[in-house]
């Protein structure tokens, strides 16, 4: 699914709210990196964001291992509230 930002074209990878273990994080990160590479070659003006539910961000995404991976691969995040269906935070 894609969100479009008026200032820049943004492609957003939505992930399942149930991220709860390292293997699911690896899958999401790999998918994110693949999208980044594909868009870099095809549509360089787009920015890829990994969207994660706010609860997952507050818990799992604060683990040191996850934080290091996000920093190493310069992962951009959208933190959203699935119940309210609204974006809480954009993290570049």
Give the HSE-up count for residue 3: Cα atoms under 13 Å, Cβ half-sphere: 17
The residue extents of the domains of the chain are: 10-91
Q: pLDDT per position in the chain (92 positions), as tens?
A: 444 443 344 545 545 545 457 888 999 999 999 999 998 888 888 899 999 999 999 989 999 999 999 999 999 999 999 999 999 999 99
**pTM of the entire predicted model:** 0.76
Pairwise CA distance, residues 82 & 92, whole Å: 20
Q: Which residues, at least 6 apart from 46, have a Cβ–Cβ distance to it below 8 Å?
A: 8, 9, 10, 11, 39
What local confidence, expressed as pLDDT, does residue 1 receive? Answer: 41
What's domain 10-91's architecture?
3-Layer(aba) Sandwich (3.40)
**CA–CA distance, 5 with 41 (Å, rounded to integer):** 20
Calculate the alpha carbon distances from 41 to 29, 35, 45, 69 in Å.
19, 10, 10, 23
């Amino acid at each position: 699914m894609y969100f479009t930002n008026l200032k820049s074209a943004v492609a957003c990878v939505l992930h399942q709210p149930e991220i709860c273990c390292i293997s699911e994080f690896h899958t999401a990160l790999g998918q994110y990196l693949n999208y980044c590479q594909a868009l870099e070659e095809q549509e360089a003006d787009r920015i890829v964001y990994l969207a994660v539910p706010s609860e997952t961000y507050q818990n799992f995404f604060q683990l040191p291992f996850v934080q290091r991976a996000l920093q190493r691969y310069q992962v951009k995040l959208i933190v959203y509230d699935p119940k309210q269906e609204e974006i809480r935070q954009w993290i570049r």
